[in-house]
Structure 1
Amino acid sequence: MSRLEVAEGQFRIGGKPLRLMSGAMHYFRIVPEYWRDRLLKLKACGFNTVETYVAWNVHEPAEGQFHFTGMADVVRFVETAGELGLHVIVRPSPYICAEWEFGGLPAWLLGYPDIRLRCMDPVFLEKVDAYYDVLIPLLKPLLSTSGGPIIAVQIENEYGSYGNDQAYLDYLRRGLLARGVDVLMFTSDGPTDAMLQGGTLPDVLATVNFGSHPQEAFEKFREYRKTEPLVCMEFWNGWFDHWMKPHHTRPAEEVADVFERMLSAGASVNFYMFHGGTNFGFYNGANYGSAYEPTVTSYDYDAPLSESGDVTDKFVAIRKVLQQHGEIGDAVLPEPLPKRSYGTVRLTERAELFSSLAELSSPVERVCPEPMEKLGQSYGFIVYSTTVSGPRLGESLHLQEVHDRAVVFLDGAYAGTVERWDPKPLKLDIPAEGVRLDIVVENMGRINYGPRLKDFKGITEGVRLNNQFLFHWTIHPLPLDKLDGLSYRLYEADHVPAGPAFYRGSLEVEQPADTFVRLTGWTKGVVWVNGFNLGRYWERGPQKTLYLPAPLLRRGSNEIVVFELHGADKPEIALEDRPDLG
């Protein structure tokens, strides 16, 4: 039995000093076939520990329905790390941030409209307890005290950035203890007075998160913790991207310099991220500063290991620093995984959304256009339909609090787009005979950080023509979470839909290899390969290609489906051997 201990201001395990040289990677952002490759590369860089969040919404997608297989097999990920001789830090907080949808909280929580998040709210705690009653028994055999690789567990994540409910933090701590977690526990927060006061517990190891100015950060930490080990639990060596904003990069030399200064101060460090991976499916999060900002599909993060697992200049610079400090082991760097260009694929089958709604969704009737959560829907799209009487000339259509992007149609003809970050009304003329009004709303990712976590999706308040609310709606939920068996009303190849439509084609593969999907000429939508949701694309960038890992392909025929919201000039895609993140 070996337990990570704190003694005389340093970590010790099995009686020997240990400096944590850790890198973050999230099993739920990496296909399982690549876990070993990514972990081997982390070890070959010189790290002795891997850190991962545990995403509640991945493991309990519907209340009471738990999922721990495939990309959700956290047990296998931890076991793989242990087999490679790595220590593991697990952060199973109910909330993880991570630029992940809703900060890892399951969307079904919002079906309880009065719930209060991340505090001593009895409804919230009841749901956390039910989740932990399933999760923690899976992790307990993997604790170092049980012979496993997990040496530390986080209680909550950057809680001081959100609240100051010390009773809530202690409730989580006691809940972990009661379920048998007997390894070192810790908190992590930004290095400010408010964050360190609100997010820490007096008898629990505290750590700090930052990307630069390590001396100042550790000085502030020392004002609160005089003798504890210095730990940067999140060294932000890169950053994530938002749609419509430039791609973030950070020079390798700058990162190496900050890292060197932390090591010289005697600190343990966890690189956030060492390998970012991908926000597959509808799991990207969003931020809200002055406006709503959705995160792109790639979570490359400009990390030492790229989205597709390639060594970068940052990797080389970090390894050099570790060599100088004598932290390098004898792990061998695996060979790069092959990349391949498969050329152009024409998507010859097409199906219009509106003519396929009956096959895709069961409609519900409501007086008001209710948000997704009130209909039991978590992700994807939702279609609101009603009829409007006429004549009405020069009227303004207001979508009151639309979350997040709505494409509007009158009798099937495109009338405009309304976006949450720029909610301008649409000018409409309604003819004397009236029209059918259809509004296709996309959930572009729930807010994952800050005070606006309670982020309902769809039309969250109402629809008005001028000041007159429109009532009596037919609503079609479109989670698009099960493409297998979808019934399309397919059209001939020469029929090009003008509005939202599904496009389908086939890719023939002799030897599967990593590739990147480019959608030049397309506007906005989602791509599936063999039923797996690769994520969103958008011509506004910065991301221009979607990563397609080889394990998602098979020898022979591979089905590709694109759901395009606006129409494509030329319904074909290209599969290339390198990414384009902007």
Structure 2
Amino acid sequence: MSTFEIGERDFLLDGRPHRVVSGALHYFRVHPDLWADRIRSARLLGLNTIETYVAWNFHAPRRGEFDLTGPRDLGRFLDLVAAEGMHAIVRPGPYICAEWDNGGLPAWLLADPSIGVRRHEPGFMAAIGEYLDAVLPVVAARQVDRGGPVVAVQVENEYGAYGDDKGYLQALVDLTRAGGITVPLFTCDQADDAMLERGGLPGLLRTATFGSRAAERLAILRRHQPTGPLMCMEFWNGWFDSWGLPHHVAPAEANAQDLDDLLAAGASVNLYMVHGGTNLGLTNGANHKGTYLPITTSYDYDAPIAEHGAATAKYHAMRAVLARHVPVPDELPDARPPAPVREVALTHRAPLAALLDVVAGVPRAWDHVPTADEAGHWNGFVVYRTRVRADDRVLVVGEVRDRAVVLLDGEPVGVLSRTAHEHVLPLPARAGELTVLVEDQGRVNYGPRIGEPKGLVGPVRTAVRELTAWTTSALLVDPLPAAATDRLAPVPADEPVAGPALLAGAFDAEPGVDHFWSTDGWGKGLVWVNGTLLGRYWSAMPTRTLYVPGPLVRERNEVVVLELGGAVDAVVRCVAEPVLGPVDV
């Protein structure tokens, strides 16, 4: 058993001054069989603490359900932190941002327009109570004063950038304490006077987020935290990537110097991120500051520990800095060998339109065009269908959230895009069944658009009338029904791919070995390996590879691809290392 307290100027571990040197590592972005490896690499960097968010919607896909198994086993993750001799900081939100879908808030909750987002509103607070009742026992049992690794827990997240409801923050404190949390609580805001004031509470330690100009930012923090330790809770040593923009890189030398300045000032630190990981499946978020920009599948973040676990140049530069301020182990992480280089022919395929009876859920009829949220579909794809006449000639959608492939009698006729502000499409002059396959590319994770509905936002018109008779169904992609691949027919892999289409192939490999699937030559879609949805790819770049974690790889492997556009051939090429795209420093 130990104690961890907030002292007059320092953190106190068992009554002695203690500097927290931490790194962010999100269990939900890493295959669980790789958790121990990534934690160990963080310790060998010189860190003594691992910080993680908890993504509410990752554990609760529907109200009344809460999953703490497999990749959602927060308790096992914290136990592995303890096994490595490290402490843990837990940030359960309920809002986390983190470039994660909806900032971690469940879409099913915010679909109710009466719910008050991130404020002291009865419906929102009742749901948070259910969430904390489920997750806090896992954390409470592993607090440092009970022999576990957890030394601190965060209340909300950068709340000062969103609101100023002090009653809401206090209610979160009360719920957290009632849930058995006895270790220190803290808030976290950008190093900005107004945000630190709005986002903090008397009696809670305030921490700040920044990536440079440490002396200036720490002085701002000290104005709002006159006593107690100073901590940068998110030292931004990299940045996330968005589809259609360059890959962000923060120079290792500059990061190392900024870290040195921070530590020389005596502050504690949490590297954001020490290891970014991957937005597996359909979990990425999005930003919207005038233009909607979804986050890439890779969350490498230009972190010291790369997406596939390699120690980068930044790792070694930061390790040298840390060695000047804290004890650093002599041992280094094992080098990562090049991944296998091979080609995998996708030998079977079928048009998606021919498979909708097995890959789409039960259709529901409407007398208006509903949003995806109204139809109860919380992520992925929604299939909208209606009939058009020969004189309709053009499709006009109020708004598409976020991208749609439009088909007439199964044949593609165009794409609607929120990012490109495209919501009008000419139609062939013939009657038929119109199918609009709408992709939720990730819910906004920051700002006032949190909780906005997805799908088609009406009205939907043609040249002569409003379209009101619709059916909707969810496209079943996670998991993909086995019956879908049973229906694929043999087609030579060297034939071009015309999407939307589903394709499948197989390959032999050494089990447990990481792979990188090159997406060059492909358009946009999803990839599954042995039934696990890796995530999205897109020729919009920057990312040009998909990471296949070694634990997914077996001796005999099945690959399935949903291509929404087209490809030069049906061959997936594996390359030796990740290609994260053109660089923006």
Q: TM-score range by the shorter chain?
A: over 0.9
Give the match for residue 287 of structure 2.
287
Q: Secondary structure at the match of 2:248?
A: coil
Deviation sequence 1:34-58 (CA, Å, 0-9, x none): 1111111111111111100011111
Q: Secondary structure at the match of 1:223?
A: helix
Give the match for residue 32 of structure 2.
32
Which residue of 400, 403, 406 maps to 2:401?
A: 403
Q: Secondary structure at the match of 2:420?
A: coil
Give the match for residue 465 of structure 1.
462
Which residue of 442, 447, 467 maps to 2:444?
A: 447
Give the match for residue 10 of structure 1.
10
Q: Which amino acid aligns with 1:573?
A: V
After superposition, the CA RMSD in angstroms is 1.6
Which residue of 477, 482, 490 maps to 2:474?
A: 477
1:47 aligns with 2:44: no
Q: Is the contact between residue 338 and residue 514 of structure 1 (CA under 8 Å) also seen in structure 2?
A: no
Q: Secondary structure at the match of 1:156?
A: coil
Give the match for residue 489 of structure 2.
491
Q: Which amino acid aligns with 1:77?
A: F
Counterpart-to-counterpart distance in 1, 2:83 and 2:330: 13
Counterpart-to-counterpart distance in 2, 1:453 and 1:235: 24
Q: Is the contact between residue 340 and residue 515 of structure 2 (CA under 8 Å) also seen in structure 1?
A: yes
Counterpart-to-counterpart distance in 1, 2:449 and 2:311: 36
1:545 aligns with 2:541: no
Q: Is the contact between residue 524 and residue 564 of structure 2 (CA under 8 Å) also seen in structure 1?
A: yes
Deviation sequence 1:422-481 (CA, Å, 0-9, x none): 2334342553x5232111110100000111102211112231114732110121211411
Q: Is the contact between residue 402 and residue 417 of structure 2 (CA under 8 Å) also seen in structure 1?
A: yes
**For residues 537 and 231 of structure 1, do their structure 2 counterparts lie closer, same or farther at Cα, with a shift above 3 Å needed?**
same
Counterpart-to-counterpart distance in 1, 2:287 and 2:39: 29
**For residues 471 and 221 of structure 1, do their structure 2 counterparts lie closer, same or farther at Cα, with a shift above 3 Å needed?**
same
More moved, 541-550 vs 382-391: 382-391
Q: How does 1:87-236 map to 2 (within 5 A)?
A: 87-236=87-236
Q: Is the contact between residue 413 and residue 427 of structure 2 (CA under 8 Å) also seen in structure 1?
A: no
Q: How does 1:263-278 map to 2 (within 5 A)?
A: 263-278=263-278
**Structure 1: gaps (5+ residues):** none
Give the match for residue 332 of structure 2.
333
Deviation sequence 1:267-290 (CA, Å, 0-9, x none): 001000000000000000000111
Give the match for residue 422 of structure 1.
420
Q: Return the offset for 1:497.
A: 6.0
Counterpart-to-counterpart distance in 1, 2:424 and 2:410: 16
Counterpart-to-counterpart distance in 1, 2:235 and 2:283: 23
Counterpart-to-counterpart distance in 1, 2:222 and 2:311: 35
Q: Is the contact between residue 396 and residue 425 of structure 1 (CA under 8 Å) also seen in structure 2?
A: no
The number of residues matched between the two structures is 577
Counterpart-to-counterpart distance in 1, 2:311 and 2:348: 39
Q: Secondary structure at the match of 1:551?
A: helix
Counterpart-to-counterpart distance in 2, 1:396 and 1:227: 65
**For residues 479 and 455 of structure 1, do their structure 2 counterparts lie closer, same or farther at Cα, with a shift above 3 Å needed?**
farther
Counterpart-to-counterpart distance in 2, 1:375 and 1:114: 17
Q: Return the offset for 1:70.
A: 1.4
Deviation sequence 1:303-333 (CA, Å, 0-9, x none): 01100010111111111111112x1243632
Counterpart-to-counterpart distance in 2, 1:377 and 1:429: 27
Give the alignment's TM-score, normalised by structure 1: 0.96
More moved, 177-186 vs 414-423: 414-423
Q: Is the contact between residue 497 and residue 569 of structure 2 (CA under 8 Å) also seen in structure 1?
A: no
Deviation sequence 1:182-232 (CA, Å, 0-9, x none): 001000000112211110001100000011111221121122222221100
Give the match for residue 522 of structure 2.
522
Q: Return the offset for 1:17.
A: 1.0
Q: Return the offset for 1:565.
A: 0.6
Q: Secondary structure at the match of 1:344?
A: strand
Q: Is the contact between residue 3 and residue 184 of structure 1 (CA under 8 Å) also seen in structure 2?
A: no
Q: Secondary structure at the match of 2:218?
A: helix
Counterpart-to-counterpart distance in 2, 1:259 and 1:436: 59
Q: Which amino acid aligns with 1:463?
A: V
Q: Is the contact between residue 57 and residue 106 of structure 1 (CA under 8 Å) also seen in structure 2?
A: yes
Counterpart-to-counterpart distance in 2, 1:223 and 1:80: 37
Counterpart-to-counterpart distance in 2, 1:498 and 1:412: 12
Deviation sequence 1:80-123 (CA, Å, 0-9, x none): 11011101000011111010111111221133232121111111
Give the match for residue 308 of structure 2.
308
Deviation sequence 1:112-147 (CA, Å, 0-9, x none): 232121111111111111111111112211011111
Give the match for residue 578 of structure 1.
577
The sequence identity of aligned pairs, in percent, is: 45
Q: Is the contact between residue 525 and residue 563 of structure 1 (CA under 8 Å) also seen in structure 2?
A: yes
Q: Is the contact between residue 338 and residue 513 of structure 1 (CA under 8 Å) also seen in structure 2?
A: no
Counterpart-to-counterpart distance in 1, 2:512 and 2:567: 27
Give the match for residue 557 of structure 2.
558
Q: Which amino acid aligns with 1:579?
A: P
Q: Is the contact between residue 377 and residue 479 of structure 1 (CA under 8 Å) also seen in structure 2?
A: no
Give the alignment's TM-score, normalised by structure 2: 0.96
Q: Which amino acid aligns with 2:466?
A: F
More moved, 109-118 vs 261-270: 109-118
Counterpart-to-counterpart distance in 1, 2:565 and 2:270: 43
